[in-house]
Chains A and B, each alone.
Chain A
Amino acid sequence: MNSLLARFPVRLLIGLAAPALLIGWWQWQASAHIVSFAPPAAVGSALVEMLRSGDLLRDTLSTLARAFTGLAIGAPLGVALGIAMGIWKPVDRVLGPLLHALRQVPMIGWLPLMGLWFGVGEGTELIVVSMSAFFPSMLNSHAGVAEVERRYLEVGSILRFGTVQRIRFILLPAAMPLVLTGITQALAFAWIATIGTELLTGAGSGLGVAMGQAQMQQRLDVMLVVIGATAALGFVINHLFRRLRRSALRWQPSLP
């Protein structure tokens, strides 16, 4: 029974059941005129129109580029600092309290300040997205290194590892599961922050920008297309990354 449920086509069918129900409900709502709702058919034609004009592609690419640039800046910095804090206590003592205080501010909360400093535009958006990717990477990497089991460090001592060897052969690999968890979270946070900042700043192109414009133009159909695209893309990216993580952690008996 369980093996049947685990088969890919079966899993796909089960996974699609809830979205199908949602669409059915939506069709019924739209035809019953209870709230203002675009029927699926209208959304479908908006999708075709947006695909044809290239708007959807352009917005999607802008958002992807922004999210991944932010991730590429924030995650490595976070991983490096988190690991440094885990290895060298003084780094943690000096920077830890500041960073833990700063992360209490929701990322969107930085937008007004950054806007004042750097103007509303690409720079500000990138800073906020990078920060969103930075914190989860930093926190998880720190925990990963700090929680390395002592018994493995003792083996390193027996084998006369120097600092670099200890980091390379024990601390980093032992911390890797949590480092990758941090990066997975960073990815999700960067994605959310990207859409959020786009929506709030409304500058250039992007899925968030398109959402804002659709609201102003009262284009419910366009809005639903963009929401659908955001959800689907986020899902696919997250799924791909989880598979990457799994293959990087082959050595683990089972994954949480």
Chain B
Amino acid sequence: MTPYPHAREDRLSAKTGRGELIVSDLNKSFTINGQPRRILDNINLTVRPGEFVSIVGASGCGKSTLLRLIVGLDTEYSGELRLDGERIATTSLDRGIVFQDHRLFPWMTLEQNIELALLNTDTPRARRAQIVADHIALVNLKGFEKAYPHQLSGGMAQRAAIARALVTEPRLLLLDEPLGALDALTRVHVQSELQRIWMAQRSTMVMVTHDVEEALYLGDRVIVMSPNPGRIRRIVEVDLPHPRDRRSPLLHRLKDEILAELTSGADADGDAGNLVHLPSREAR
């Protein structure tokens, strides 16, 4: 296993914060067809420094919207978003994101894409090439440095996007279904990689996923959201040390509980169109 490439401590000590995210009374509406429509309703959540939080919920319940607000791409909301006490008003290199689509620049090679993320960091120029190489190794893409994104498979591109987000060492990393495009086998592998990276790096991570098993395997807590409007329905503590064993009975029990929660929600709202789809069911 590749050890995590470079020490984080020097950067952490230079910064005041350690990655504590506070979401309080967050509300978000979009105007659809001239009508304001509540998408996120009164979200309250505190993510502890270094914590891994998973978010699951039906399609369209506002998970991506929530991440876009936290990362600072969308600044129209009411309520408060704070990272280490600082109100979030725009994007910042302290907050990274892996989008649902990989969003590598098609006109650059894998290596160039990752190096570009360092453009506005204070990383010394002389060290950049090495850091980029380390991160490519970290996501197991050695040998593809000079490949263009269209020459990578979906899963490889997604791993490259993860490397691009990690290379800036953000205090808070947001992941929007980062493994959604992967086949079951690669997925399990990248999940373990992600856990290893997170354990080595100990930055705060918030990951959206449709896969309850994945949410439980990685998350210290799993946030279950319900749709129309998007609310936090339940927060499940996963009281198991990392690294975890996928076969742990606790994980299986919690999985059944969360699945029951998700499906009962759909029934109660009488909205069959919002039935959660769970790739993990096919994947097993």
Q: Which of A92-100, A155-163, A178-186, A234-242 contacts B (4 or more CB under 8 A)?
A: A155-163
| Complex CA–CA separation, A250 to B150 (angstroms) | 11
Pair B91/A169 contact, Cβ less than 8 Å: no
Q: Which residues of A contact B96 (CB under 8 A)?
A: 158
| Complex CA–CA separation, A161 to B92 (angstroms) | 10
**On chain A, which size bracket covers the interface?**
20 to 34
Q: Which residues of A contact B99 (CB under 8 A)?
A: 151, 154
Pair A152/B119 contact, Cβ less than 8 Å: no
| Complex CA–CA separation, A253 to B106 (angstroms) | 9
A176 within 8 A of B: yes
Interface string of A138-158 (1 = CB under 8 A from B): 000000000000011011011
| Complex CA–CA separation, A53 to B105 (angstroms) | 55
Pair B148/A169 contact, Cβ less than 8 Å: no
Interface string of A245-256 (1 = CB under 8 A from B): 000001111000
A173 within 8 A of B: yes
Pair B108/A159 contact, Cβ less than 8 Å: no
Pair A157/B105 contact, Cβ less than 8 Å: no
Q: Which residues of A contact B236 (CB under 8 A)?
A: none
- Count of B interface residues, CB-CB < 8 Å: 22
B93 within 8 A of A: yes
| Complex CA–CA separation, A143 to B105 (angstroms) | 19
Pair B120/A151 contact, Cβ less than 8 Å: no
Chief secondary structure at chain B's binding surface: loop
Specify the chain A residue showing the minimal Cβ separation from B99.
A151
Residue from B105, B107, B168 with most neighbouring chain A CB atoms (10 Å): B107
Specify the chain B residue showing the minimal Cβ separation from A177.
B107
Q: Which residues of B contact A252 (CB under 8 A)?
A: 106, 150
Pair A159/B120 contact, Cβ less than 8 Å: yes
| Complex CA–CA separation, A250 to B99 (angstroms) | 25
With A157-B73, A161-B120 as given contacts, are A251 and B103 in contact (CB-CB < 8 Å)? no
With A158-B91, A251-B150 as given contacts, are A151 and B103 in contact (CB-CB < 8 Å)? yes
B71 to chain A, nearest CB (A): 7
Pair A251/B91 contact, Cβ less than 8 Å: no
With A250-B148, A252-B150, A253-B150 as given contacts, are A160 and B107 in contact (CB-CB < 8 Å)? no
Q: Which residues of B contact A151 (CB under 8 A)?
A: 99, 101, 103
Q: Which residues of B contact A87 (CB under 8 A)?
A: none
Pair A159/B107 contact, Cβ less than 8 Å: no
Pair B148/A251 contact, Cβ less than 8 Å: yes
With A158-B71, A159-B116, A160-B92 as given contacts, are A173 and B105 in contact (CB-CB < 8 Å)? yes
B26 within 8 A of A: no
Q: Which residues of B contact A169 (CB under 8 A)?
A: 105, 116, 119
Residues of A within 8 A of B (CB): 151-152, 154-155, 157-162, 165, 169-170, 173-174, 176, 250-253
13 other A-B residue contacts (CB within 8 Å) besides A155-B105, A173-B108: A151-B99, A152-B103, A157-B73, A157-B91, A158-B71, A158-B73, A159-B116, A159-B168, A160-B92, A165-B119, A165-B120, A169-B116, A251-B106
Which 4 pairs show the lowest CB-CB distances between chains A and B?
Answer: A173-B107, A253-B150, A160-B120, A251-B148
